[in-house]
Amino acid sequence: MSTAALVALALVIAVSLRARRPVQSMLISRLRVLLPAWRFFDRPTSAPVLAVRAGGGPWIGIGAAARGPLSWAIAPAGNLALAYHGVVEQLVAEVSELDAALAHDAPVIVALVSYELVTRIAREHVPAGAAWQWRIQVDDEDFLVSPELGGVTERAA
């Protein structure tokens, strides 16, 4: 019994130390909540940052929601902001799998569902009617910059 427990422990350690690989199967990806990896904050790297600008103005980062006195118990806006951040991370992961030489507005990138989601997140943070743009920075470098959207472009679409 104790030998079996030790073997199981060794297996868990071996699996835990293996490098993380992206899940290829969509079915497994959608049901991954049933197969938890239990790796939290294991690689403390910098996070991608989504920012927007309207009318060619300054870039404004889209960050966390403001905390309230009950946020430790229930935090709808905070967790929605974390879900938005998860979308940005997913887009970065998906684009990183593609050819690095691709233009930022290459059809294969713009067609990604994550790209559309990020565009919709960004649009929530700019005034209606203005021409606007979003960008994702990783380690303070531009990773992905959208073409100018909204204004005439959006009305035409």
Partner 1 sequence: MTAGLAVLWMARLAAVATTVAALELVAVHRAVGDEGVFRWATLRRDYAAAPAPVRALLDALFGARGTRLVLGVQLASGLALPWLDHPAVAWLAVASTLAIAVRFRGSYNGGSDAMLLVVLIAIALARTQPGSPLELAGLAYAAVQLVLSYFISGVAKLADAQWRRGTALPLLVRLPQYAVPARLAALLSRPLVARGAGIGMLAFECVFPLALVQPTACFVLLGVGVAFHLVNALAFGLNRFLWTWLAAYPALLFWVARTHG
* Binding site residues, partner 1, CB under 8 A: 9, 12-13, 15-17, 26, 29-34, 36-47, 49, 61, 63-65, 67, 71-87, 90, 113, 116-117, 120-121, 124
Beta carbon nearer to partner 1, 101 or 141: 141
Beta carbon nearer to partner 1, 16 or 96: 16
Q: How far is the CB of 118 from partner 1 (least distance, A)?
A: 9
Beta carbon nearer to partner 1, 80 or 102: 80
Beta carbon nearer to partner 1, 6 or 56: 6
Burial annotation 110-130 (CB, 10 A radius, 16+ → b, else e): eeeebbebbeebbeebbeeee
Q: How far is the CB of 132 from partner 1 (least distance, A)?
A: 15
Total count of residues recorded for the chain: 157
Q: How far is the CB of 151 from partner 1 (least distance, A)?
A: 19
Q: Euclidean distance between the first and final Cα of the chain, in Å?
A: 67
DSSP per-residue string spanning 79-106 = HHHHHHHHHHHHHHHHHHTS-TTS-TT-
- Inter-residue contact 78 to 65 (CB < 8 Å): yes
Hey, is 53 helix, strand or coil?
A: strand
Q: How far is the CB of 22 from partner 1 (least distance, A)?
A: 12
Measured distance CA(14)–CA(94) in Å, rounded: 27
Beta pairing class for 149-150 and 141-145: unpaired
Beta carbon nearer to partner 1, 43 or 100: 43
Q: How far is the CB of 101 from partner 1 (least distance, A)?
A: 25
